[in-house]
Structure 1
Amino acid sequence: WQVLPSYSLDTVSNTICGPLEFLSDHYLVAGAAATCSDSIKNQDESDVDCGGVCGKTCAFGKPCGSTADCSGNLVCTGGSCAYPSLGGGGGGSITFQDSDGDGVIDNDDAFPNDPTEWEDSDGDGVGDNSDAFPNDPTEWKDTDNDGIGDNSDPYPLDPLNGESPVVDSDGDGVRDDEDVFPNDPTEWEDTDGDGVGDNSDAFPNDPTEWEDSDGDGVGDNSDAYPNDPTRTTEATGAGTGDVNALTGNVVSPTGSPEKEENWLTGNVARFFGESGGRLWWLFLLLLLGGFFFIILVYRRGAASADPHVLFTQARNLDKKAVELHDKGDVAKAEALRQQAHEKRKKAHELLK
């Protein structure tokens, strides 16, 4: 700055040091012209270097004379640049849209067309309101409510597995403590307990059979002709024949169809013979029937004490529970889950 004639200018208080003649134009204060980048609020600026004639508009919270002084979508409200209320206001002409009517304007709404969501903290594409793990971008759902997200939970429908590590050695999706074949990825269940997995057992419910080489429906262990689908059994002794597996008829030793009926009738008569023979065979049949009945009762009792059977029953109950849950029958589904839990608990006790 320079004062003509030579009087000094106090730039702090903006005063001229020296006597001045009132209304005299003899003194001239000379200096740089005002600009919009001189860090001084001058001209008609509403704040330092913004607003008014300056091309630069003022930021949020800065003083303003009109909305034109404010930057972006801000409006001049109460002499300060501020965000407008929905529908505009504060003298501004800008209207903010809220497409889904959730009270959050579209510009700030991560889900502008979903009234139930407006924020996605972890950026996984699932809104915080429905995200079970709003701060974990790798998880968003926990079906069994065990605290482990479905994406990392190997058993997302079993809430009991969230408390301890689960081991599945063969990677077949069935944990080791329920897998009858924990090291075989192709097998995990053996319903009849014959040591052959159900997937490869031709007779999964018959502990005496597991293979049928000729495909005639009769297991190899009881098939006298395991490689011949036309024959299954062979009687011993004179006057006997085979059973045709395709027709179910008894074939006479001569192979003559016209003699089959007479041969069968005669052999049946000779089989039971006299009345004494009939009583003996009746007694034998009753004895065998009682024996098989005892075996059946024993097997059922053993099955209830077999941990593998209990695990299988538990899994079946879980599957049924999921079906009922999907149909909306939550109460029954929960009851079945409780039954499954009790069976697993009993199975673990038996394994101890």
Structure 2
Amino acid sequence: MEQHNIQDHLIRQKELIKYRLKKLNDKQNEIKSKSLVMRENTMKKYKEMQRVLEEDCRITLSLLEIEETATVHALDDLIDTNCVLLKDIELQLNQGLMDNGLKPVERVITMFDNRVQELLRTTDPGLVKLDEAKADQLLGLTNNLLLFIRSQIPIAKRLLKTYSTEVILDPTTAHPKLIISSAGDCATFTDVWQDVPEDKGRFDTTLNVLSLQSWDSGRHYWEIDVSEKLYWELGLTYPSISRKGQKEDCWLGRHADSWCLEYFDGDYNAWHGGTAHPLPISTCFRRIGILCSFYGGLVTFLGVDSMTPLYSFCTGTFTDALHLALCPGHDLQGTNSKPIKICQS
């Protein structure tokens, strides 16, 4: 190829790359713009819900306060009536029973007896009541609203559930000291070395097991039950993860082929590429969620109990299919004997 032809060819290649870069930058700006709009619209809806609830709360409390004001005022009137008669009696006592000699004793006693009896009849505290039945009804309606809201949130969990992907564990990959349930949803450590067939895909040192399925596109979400466990590891891995020997390449997250969340005795660490990322979290979650998005090269771990984001790996682009990977850990003298289980709902 002549020199000028080579130059023309390279110039065309250069222009192709420049055009692709422009498209990539445009796409990046488009995603940022769309994401901003989605966040702003979502925030507006939450603020609107907050305003609606605050206004409803204001109205409800106002009605309760109005009734309180009315009943307190009614009691004030009754108290005043009692105070008037009390003063009259005290005045009569100070003046003497004969009221300067103009009234006989019996007449004075009878007059005050009648007034006192009438007062006791008309100022019975039981006559003044709050509408507690209506108040209880309001409280019940409020509680029902609270229960409904709680049933609908976290909204993020309802969204993630739409990405739920069926998965079962592959017993041919499980370390011989792991018992895999017949349903393929549970891994339990045992001190007894299981009589299992030799398999090139079986882990022989680390207590790992992989999913039978693998995924190379789309978005996927799983929840793992780790309740009552002192130690566990879970994550995603390429099928190329080492399976044999003592080297750390067999451990989840200790190389570039896998992403892992590890829990041990209250401490969380996210692992990838041999680097640990300690997490400032003290909550002992009963369920851990894993979200994987091939569109964004994303692996996110969440504490499902409160939908708390724990750690996210933004890998850019996955280079192979991914398997779910679990490690229930040793039983640690019975303190970690519970299984690690995939939640199917």
Q: TM-score, normalised by structure 2?
A: 0.22
Higher share in helix: 2
Higher share in strand: 2
Q: TM-score, normalised by structure 1?
A: 0.22
Larger radius of gyration: 1
